[in-house]
Amino acid sequence: MQNRLQAENLPEAIEKLLQNQECLSYLVFVSGDCFQVREIYSPDSKRILYGLQREYSRLGRSLVDAIWFHHPAKLLLVCGQELFWSEVDVYKCHIAGPLFTDNLLRIRKKNPGGDIASSWEFRTGEWKKANRTSFQKETANAMSETEGSFLEEVHLDRKLRDTTHPVFR
């Protein structure tokens, strides 16, 4: 197994920023592609989860490239003029199981019609503070999460005929 970042406790300040609705999050990949991402949080004060909307997208491809070829990415948290960033190990892709369900239900709680294609687990390293201008180029050109997507991905329980669900009984 290659050397990977361990799931260490997140600094308290970073946890707070992750919960702050005013902060913007960005993922920057080795290709230089940068995406503004919304559904990002920590389920356990260690790991970070990101709910990807569409896998057949430029962002979906970047995540796959990062996990397959162990290409590190960067996670930026921007709050006002402050910017914190850390190197990110794109560690795991969840398509079922407790972390996937946690991520999905969290999204559906906010938006009952919401869905995610997969949940990506990141492990972060040391968090660094920087001036917002240091990532100006990346964030100014940030793409949307669904950039280049060509297929809407919806779980079958979102295609049911009626909302008197659980399945009409």
Partner 1 sequence: MVNDLSVSPFVLLKLSMIWHGVVLTERALDRLQAPDYCFGKWEPFGLTNGSHVKKVLPGAILLRDATFVHINYGEPFTDPFTADFDPETGCFLLMEKDHVIDEIDFVPRPSFYGKVTSKGTPMETVALARAQKLILSAFQKCLFWKNGEQCHYCAFFSQTKTAEVDEEDIFETVQEALKEPGRYSQIYLSGGSDFRGDYPFEEEIQRYIRIFRSISTLFQGRFHSQLMAPAYKKEDVKKIYEETGITSYCPNIEIMDKTLFQRLCPGKEKWIGYDTWIRRTLDAVDVFGEGNVYTQIVAGAELARPYGFQSIDDALRSNFKGCEFFAKNGVICLSTIWRPHRYAKLGFQPMPPLDYYIRLTKGFHEIRKSYGLVAVDDNYKLCGNHPDSDLERLDFSCKTDCRQKTCRKL
By C-beta, is 61 or 132 nearer to partner 1?
61
Rule CB under 8 A: say whether 106 interacts with partner 1: no
Q: Which of 97, 111, 113, 129 binds partner 1 (CB under 8 A)?
A: 97
Strands 73-79 and 118-124: unpaired
Rule CB under 8 A: say whether 116 interacts with partner 1: yes
Rule CB under 8 A: say whether 58 interacts with partner 1: yes
Rule CB under 8 A: say whether 68 interacts with partner 1: yes
Question: Contact letters (x/-) for partner 1, 20-49, by CB under 8 A?
Answer: ------------------------------
Closest distance to partner 1 from the beta carbon of 155 (Å) = 4
Please write down the long-range contacts of 12-17, taking CB distance under 8 Å and 24 or more positions apart. Answer: 13/84, 13/127, 14/77, 14/84, 14/86, 14/124, 14/127, 15/42, 15/45, 17/77, 17/79, 17/84
Closest distance to partner 1 from the beta carbon of 6 (Å) = 10
Residue count of the chain: 169
Rule CB under 8 A: say whether 154 interacts with partner 1: yes
By C-beta, is 51 or 135 nearer to partner 1?
51
Per-residue CA distances from 22 to 25, 62, 77, 146, 155 (Å): 10, 26, 10, 21, 29
Q: Which of 115, 125, 127, 146 binds partner 1 (CB under 8 A)?
A: 115
Per-residue CA distances from 128 to 59, 87, 94, 157 (Å): 24, 9, 28, 41
Alpha helices in 48-128 (DSSP H): 58-69, 98-110
Residues that bind partner 1 (CB under 8 A): 1, 55-58, 60-61, 64-65, 67-69, 91-98, 100-101, 104-105, 108, 115-116, 118, 148-157, 159-161, 165-169
